[in-house]
Amino acid sequence: MSFLDLLRDTLATLWAHKRRTLLTMFGIAWGIISITLMVAASEGLGQGIEKQHENFGKDVMIVFSGRTSMQAGGTRSGRAVHWGEDDYLQVAAESPACKYVMPELDNSLQVHSLFNSGTILTVGSLPAFREIRSVTVAQGRFYNDSDNQDGRRVAFLGSDTKKQLFAAREALGATIWMNGVPYTVIGVMKAKEQNSDYDGVDVRKIFIPFNAMRRDFPNKPPAVEHTVDRLLAAPWSLETHPDCVRQIRRSLGRLHDFDPRDKEAASIWDTVKDAQATRMIIVGMEIFMGAVGVVTLFLGGLGVMNVMLVSVRERTREIGVRMALGATRRSILRQFFLETLIMALLSGGTGLAVSYGFCALVNLLPMPPFFEGLLASWKLAALSVTLLGGIAVLSGVYPANRAASVDPIEALRFEAGG
């Protein structure tokens, strides 16, 4: 029998039992759809959460001052610690594992333009603040090293702040007055979603050079003078992250006479660790959902195997006649295996088409924060096809071998008796 004859006979057999064939194919297709949608949803959720983390800051550590909880150098515990305006210079020099160490000073100021006014949180730091806090420029520019060194009175506005002070009007080059001090607007921030903060969201702030901030708007009593609110740091890489943390604690402990192990004196909000922990949770969720999809796919494979075994039983006489007329064991094996393969490929292709089409349609809709959509990648398609191929082989080999092992005489006797 030629391959075309074999294929024609196989398709005719499947069509003759179309209800059973369609139900079996549905089981396989549903398994493919399940594994694709569940893993795609997990990936979309994971990337959404990671994006939200990066919107707050990329590999940033926020170092807060507090009170000592351990005695060190003859000093008592419970002593208040404050970071000085120039501490960052010494800490940066003593922390080679850190790419950046910078101060952050903020105060709520009375700000007005020619069109509106309000109390707005104003932040002073170094130019690298834009990088590690994921501040994206929509118009103009962020302040640079020259602006900071000269203490220039230039301001970069958060997107909401720009709307508050200027509405739809042009802000670049305009003057705003902060506590009566004139500043020139040099840039406007691109709007962003922010899932966490320690002093308010960035879109509602004004950003100015650190040297201008500490000259014009320093901390005043009852706050300790010549101090900053916190330090920001970022490691060179994930590999240098532990050393960066250790070096910062050691340097600050030396400068302020506390034990570097005292986490109450210098508490660190470590977004690097937060991101790693979140990623582990997401990966675990992806594995769990993928496993559920694989189980569903295997259940569909068992359905295929069961249908093919029933088919072998129903066609016992046909198999016996064909073998009595000279059909080889190999041709019988090929026919039943081809039936299984056709059902698996058709159902698998249909499942992939439906699931990827559904993902594409869902991704056309506006997505909520923390979710990037149903992200079905080529890796997921390759995984699905590999699993489907394996299931097709497993579910087809045994029934095909069972059919090819039928004894012609026993087959004819069995059918005659039935």
3-state secondary structure labels for all residues of 155-222: EEECHHHHHHHHCCCCCCCCEEEECCEEEEEEEEECCCCCCCCCCCCHHHEEEEEHHHHHHHCCCCCC
3-state SS assignment for residue 227: strand
**Binning pLDDT at 50, 70 and 90, where does residue 50 land?**
low
Last residue of a domain, one of 210, 242, 264: 264
Examine residue 60 and state whether it is found in any structural domain, yes or no: no
Enclosing domain of residue 328: 3-54+276-417
Residue in 218, 162, 212 with CA at minimum distance from that of residue 187: 162
Co-location of 219 and 116 in the same domain? yes
Co-location of 48 and 72 in the same domain? no
Question: Rounded to 5 degrees, what angle do the CA atoms 211, 215, 216 make?
Answer: 115
Co-location of 171 and 314 in the same domain? no
Co-location of 44 and 80 in the same domain? no
Co-location of 255 and 288 in the same domain? no
Co-location of 338 and 403 in the same domain? yes
Co-location of 47 and 83 in the same domain? no
User: What is d(CA 82, CA 91) in angstroms, rounded to the nearest whole number?
Assistant: 14
Beta carbons of 256 and 67 less than 8 angstroms apart:
no
pTM value is 0.66
Using a pLDDT cut of 90, give the percent of the chain over it: 39
**Binning pLDDT at 50, 70 and 90, where does residue 48 land?**
confident
Co-location of 239 and 355 in the same domain? no
Residue 260 identity (one-letter amino acid): P
User: What is d(CA 227, CA 214) in angstroms, rounded to the nearest whole number?
Assistant: 9
Last residue of a domain, one of 240, 264, 288: 264
DSSP string, 57-97: -SS-EEEEE-B--S-BTTBPTT-B---BTTHHHHHHHT-TT
H or E, element range at 25: helix 18-56
Last residue of a domain, one of 264, 286, 315: 264
Q: Which two tokens stand for residue 43?
A: 């990936």
Co-location of 108 and 142 in the same domain? yes
Co-location of 235 and 293 in the same domain? no
Examine residue 270 and state whether it is found in any structural domain, yes or no: no
User: What is d(CA 193, CA 372) in angstroms, rounded to the nearest whole number?
Assistant: 13
pLDDT tens digits along 77-133? 788 999 999 999 999 999 999 999 999 999 999 999 999 999 999 999 999 999 888
pLDDT tens digits along 192-235? 877 667 788 899 999 999 999 999 999 988 788 899 999 999 99
3-state SS assignment for residue 317: helix
pLDDT tens digits along 236-257? 988 899 999 999 999 999 999 9
| Whole-number CA gyration radius for the chain | 34
Residue in 342, 272, 385 with CA at minimum distance from that of residue 13: 342
| CB-count burial class (<10 Å; 0-12, 13-18, 19+) for 80 | exposed
Co-location of 211 and 150 in the same domain? yes
Beta carbons of 61 and 270 less than 8 angstroms apart:
yes
In the chain, the number of structural domains is 2
Beta carbons of 320 and 1 less than 8 angstroms apart:
no
Co-location of 166 and 287 in the same domain? no
